[in-house]
Structure 1
Amino acid sequence: MLKIKKLFIYMFAAMLLIVVVQAANVGTVVLLADGSLNTECVNIDDGKTAYHAFQESSLTMDWSYTVGIGHFLNSVEGVASDNDAGKYWSFWHINSAETDFESAMVGASDYEIETDDKVIGLSYTSFDNSWNPITKPPFSDYDDICEPVLDVEKVSVEIDGDKDTLKEGDSFKVKPGDLILLSVKVGNLHEDDDLEDVEVEAIIRDIDDNDDIEEQSDSTDIGDGKDEILELELEIPLDADEGDYELEVTVTGDLELPYRQVLLYEVEVDKESHELAVGISETVDLECGKSYRLNIEIDNIGKDDEDVSLTIINDDMDISIQDSFDVDENEGTSKSYSFRVPSAAIGSYSLLTTLVYSDERDEYRTTLNVDCDEETQDGNLAGLPNAGAQNINPGNSQPQLNFTSSNSNQTQPEDLSPIYVVLLIVGNIILVLIVIIVIVRWRKN
């Protein structure tokens, strides 16, 4: 038993050590001492430095490390710094305009890399009187060094049936509760090999009470010269505050190196002055002669607090329910209403639920399909089957609602008090302990 416990501890510790790390491709340009040029595309983990990128190069480099200073490049391909000639290896990085190299103000081990568009360089050079390096390596564009393989051809969003194509940096409007269908068309530019494990990840920053929402598409392989459309869904929280939020879309795939492309957009949450998101079943199957409970979820996704008047009506089944309540901004409420299906009812009926608030009037229709079996017609109401539940979307993403059936003399689960439930659990635990004690004493005797 002890060995098994240790095994589980080791397995749990191993799971804690598993970390998913994004990787960055980096272009390296090295002007060697003999005037020849070496360019390579290397791969490092995000957050690593230029020093780590040069370590992945095929060139032989010798580095020394000093605490508080970092790594110092002693030699490349056997050519070391020459104090007498005043020549040393100098580190360069891409400038902010991405058009040329500029001399680094920090060492290679202090220059962090977190994107795929970085180009870094080295040159063997003398320095001027102000200790500025004189000889600069020739600059090359990132795409010329790290040949693009993964191509994001098209990004589109669909919200409530409306579809728009996005360009990088574009913004689009949503409302609380909206469901965003994000489609990304990805192409494989390589002419000979498949682009493997291609997937899309989308993150909307800080939109869920300062937390991110994040979704990921299924993974697929894309043949050489082919393209595929990958999709995922993002649901805007019902209590999202009005404002602008960053949407980060990351597309990744593997060929000889891991490739990725990161695209940024802006999501604008726009609220109406008065709007409720109402969740209610569209269609349910019922049995005649039984009682049911209609559950409704109501969320205020507008800018103002609301005083709501609600009615539920069906004249043919003599259903007439009225209620009034308040729903504050960014708050929600759950309502439950009981009614009985007449014994003589059979067929389909339309149940009309109306909510009136401010100057708004929202109507929702639920189709009641009523059937009567022989036992019900004989007056036997035994059994408490649950009617089906459906999600609906009357302009907004809705939570799941349901009908539940019940006999009038039977306690509903939602009517049980929390104290009763706790006492029931404690009683069961005590009963189990008593049984265990009796068994142990019986074995001793």
Structure 2
Amino acid sequence: MFIMDFDCYNFTQIEWNHELLQFPRRWFIFINNILTFTKNLPIWINSRVYLLQKQPPHILTSPYIVLNTTYYQYNKISEWMKDSYMLPMADILDYEHRSNQHGLTINSTGVVVYPRTTDHLLDWRYLDEDAITKHNYLLLHHLMDILNTRLNISWAPSWGTKPPNSTYTYMMGDLEKSISDIAGTIGFMTNDRFVFADYVANPIPTLGKFILKAPPLSAVNNILTMPFDFNVWVSFAVLTVLIVGLMLVTVKWEWHCFKFNQKSAEHLRPQPLEIIQFQIGVVCQQGIEKEPFSLSGKIITFSALLSSLFFYTSYSSCIVALLQSSSTSITTLDDLLNTNIKLGVHNLPYAKFFFSRQRGEVKEAIYKQKLLLQINQRIYFRLKSAWRECVQSFSLFMPRSTRFINKYPKHS
């Protein structure tokens, strides 16, 4: 806070400039008559200079000047007479007390990634293309109406980057060089951008979401082992061994009791290899060429065929159901990293920039393995081509626009 007298000799010796008078510096200047304050000082809208009239009535007011005018505007704060009380003081709010800019031209630079966006800013067509820019364009026009200003907007193909030992390009470059007064498209703020740019509204967090067509279960798991758990497989193996043992004992008893001809090809021989071959045919549903002669042997054969039929039917039906099922196993970044699903990113400049600067072991591994190493594959997509890729193949896509998540799945 600085306090001075307008009639002081040193007041005229100061080299006044905007930086000296701008907020948060506050100046209290005593003056005999406010009407005599004619010195052309750069007291812009965000300045806080207060004039206190020494002659009765004592008036406390704050002057400011609009760039395209040559006269001061005044915000009266309070007034009082000698030996009387002071009127309530009024706070100065720029958006309320200094909103009339008298037709001042405000320069702005917006980002247009899709060239046809400039022809469809207000006709509600192609809403998925440059949605942020179209939204900001409407807000800027409302702001210009409130401030009584005229908007002069130009378009850039990107937010801009900063080459080594140089200034920013495109939209951020216009802000850094003071070509633009306000950005026409919202953007991410990095530490080096705070040197020349600041927020005009409260910042909000942002996030990226991965969307994908749930892949078939067979693409991420071995479905051949999934129909039954381990205990069922063990039980079936034990049943198979038991049937082979019982059949071997039964066939040996038949050959011992009935004295079959050794050259006969109609009866099972009491040999382990032939009994195992018999059981393999039963399990594989290939039928049998030879059957036991005794009733006990036929009962064992029927039990083997029936149990194998039930097992084979259950296994086949489970396989068919699993082939038509989709996987829900991809729920974390680790799951994404360990799958062979193709990854795509929204083809936007800032998406490429910030995706390459993610920190964390898993995130860096995803970027390197899923993007950098895919030399011969397309990894950056427009919205429609990305959705087509997700539907037709096992692909995963990270869009920036939430409209993509809400619109395309509903219309497909």
What is the TM-score with the length of structure 2 in the denominator?
A: 0.21
- Larger Cα Rg: Structure 1 or Structure 2? 2
Q: From the two aligned structures, give the one with the greater strand fraction.
A: 1
What is the TM-score with the length of structure 1 in the denominator?
A: 0.20
Q: From the two aligned structures, give the one with the greater helix fraction.
A: 2
